[in-house]
Amino acid sequence: MTVHVPDDTTDQAAEITRLRAELESWKAAALGTRQRAADFSTISGLPIEPVYTALDTGAPAPLPGNYPYTRGIHPTMYRGRLWTMRQFAGFGTAEDTNARYKFLLERGQTGLSVAFDFPTLMGYDADHPRSEGEVGKCGVAISSLADMETLFDGIPLDKVSVSMTINGPAAILFCFFVAAAERQGVDIAALQGTIQNDILKEFVAQHAWIYPVEPSLKIIVDLFEWTSTHTPNWNSISISGYHIREAGSTAAQELAFTLVNGFTYVERGIARGLDVDQFAPRLSFFWDVHNDFFEEIAKMRAARRIWARHLRERYGATDERSLKMRFHCQTAGVSLTAQQPLNNVARVAYQAMAAVLGGTQSLHTNAYDETLALPTEHSVRVALRTQQILAHETGVAHSADPLGGSYLVEALTDRLEEEAEAIFAEVEAMGGTVAAIEAGWFQREIAQSAARFQAEVETGGKVVVGLNAFVEDDEQPIDILRIDESAEVEQRRRMVAMRASRDESLVASRLAALEAAGRDDRNIIPAMLDCARAYCTLYEIRHVLEEVWGAYREPVFF
């Protein structure tokens, strides 16, 4: 331990002794009488001391912009440029969602984020029998290049950055996107945005998978390779803790499971023969921001430090862009309550502030009605305005890492780093990430944490306002967005029209070429992009590769 003292002539050991004595007498005088009968642990269960001092922290972290970037990846942080306000949106048909995007852009949103419906997330066309009842319900239905063109109609893809939350069929949707940009006449090298493309966390938590683990990883490395030369400003992956946390993990598990997934992608890229500095600068991350304010800030600070250290020391990265963890944050959907839904506005605001104090590059703030339905225009506007108030009224964006040096935040940052390193060692002992997934280890750990939290809520150990405390007996329902079946009918009609107007022999030959690329173990992206250009559908592309690789089968347990 090093205690930071203002006067370098002071003897370190004597100062530590003095601080310890001061703390002990403070504890003897202050504690025992004036503490509420409450749970003083974090939402994840980490114990929190009544006060933190210099005894709890190490040497001061280097300044923002300096390795290992605990205090932020940019020297001036938001003083240089505010975070990107990027609201995740999508519902109904591509036309419906295109209108919502224009609504958000006109109101000062600075980037787009596509929510796809479940059929699209699983690689099914809107007119596939398995899609029935789910088309356009939880996101937008995109079954071919034609839908992607409609989705971005009138939105210049070389100007607006786009994030796409898609994983199992990520490469297919990315090819639709690139082909749509080509149709707009845009230079694809100028494309900016992110494809989530994080299949490991699908196996761990979110469950929108298609192929078995190994071919799924192969496609991801194909995309790393292709994007590094063709779309150099595109983030080829968003390694996501969000879904792991929402499925029930603790903050430390979110941090560690996500980072081991990240390390696995780095190892696979290197195993392909890629130079780590060729693809690591375009790896990005995605964190959940939950209710526990300081724990969340500490998690993001620890994440940056761990990533930088491992990339440099374990994987030999030298380009500082490879070491700098860039990330998106979303406030925690799972923290919101269906009871007294307007209370969620307050939860979202605190979470958003934690994301900013944690140094996020972009942010989605949830709408207060998320536990009831997809958000209305009213609720998304409140969510966006919450970010604008944070950016322009609270003053939190004036100074980089304003909580750096806080005894509590620094101690929690160290603690989360230690917890994460212990989990890395545990995963390694099991034979690595893929072995742990196939054994269902991550999945069980998450389910156990979820059950533990549920029990704490039901016994009142953890207070949830409006749910197990401060309950209202007579609640009035609020207006919600309803997605009717017309989107499904309209989307099926569009599919029929699209199929009738395309060149079927071209479709067949492009699909055959893709299948051959899969069988020959070549990079599949060029052949897949050719399929997209020929208006092959999502399911047609999914299916030819399923013929080559088969499908993933989950280990079922509870």
Residues that bind other proteins (CB under 8 A): 118-119, 121-122, 124, 130-134, 137-138, 202, 206-208, 246-248, 334, 337-339, 371-374, 447, 450-451, 454-455, 458, 464, 467, 477, 480, 482-483, 554, 556-558
Best CA proximity match to 487, nearest among 88, 111, 120: 120
Residue closer to other proteins (CB basis): 53 or 339? 339
Looking at the Cβ atoms of 24 and 479, the one nearer to other proteins is 479
Contact 377, 103 (CB under 8 A): yes
Nearer to other proteins, 28 or 556 (CB): 556
Tokens standing for residue 83? 């975070």
The CA radius of gyration of the chain, in Å to the nearest whole number, is 24
By the 8 A CB rule, do 121 and 166 touch?
yes
Which is nearer to other proteins, 21 or 480 (by Cβ)? Answer: 480
CA dihedral 274, 280, 282, 284 (to 10 degrees): 140
The residue (of 91 and 177) whose beta carbon lies closer to other proteins is 91
Q: What is the dihedral of CA 20, 22, 26, 29, to 10 degrees?
A: 110
The nearer residue to other proteins, 201 or 510, going by C-beta atoms, is 201
> From CA 124, how far away is CA 119, in angstroms rounded?
5
Q: Which residues contact 325 (CB under 8 A, 6 or more apart)?
A: 69, 73, 285, 303, 304, 307, 308
The CB density around residue 17, as the number of other CB atoms within 10 Å, is 11
Nearest to 162 by CA among 233, 225, 228, 107: 233
Q: Report residue 318 as tokens.
A: 């030298």
Whole-Å CA distances, 227 to 62, 105, 525: 33, 27, 9
Shortest gap between Cβ of 468 and other proteins (angstroms)?
Answer: 8
Q: Residue 3 and residue 58: Cα distance in Å, rounded?
A: 7
Nearest CB to other proteins, comparing residues 127 and 530: 127
What phi and psi values does residue 396 have, to the nearest 5 degrees?
-70, -15
The three-class DSSP label of residue 383 is: helix
Closer residue to other proteins in complex, CB, 247/349: 247
Find the shortest distance in angstroms from Cβ 131 to other proteins.
7
The answer to whether residues 252 and 302 touch, using CB atoms and an 8 Å cutoff, is no
Shorter beta-carbon distance to other proteins: residue 195 or 372: 372
Among 191, 105, 101, 85, smallest CA distance to 153 is for 101
Instruction: Report the DSSP pairing between strands 234-235 and 283-289.
Output: unpaired
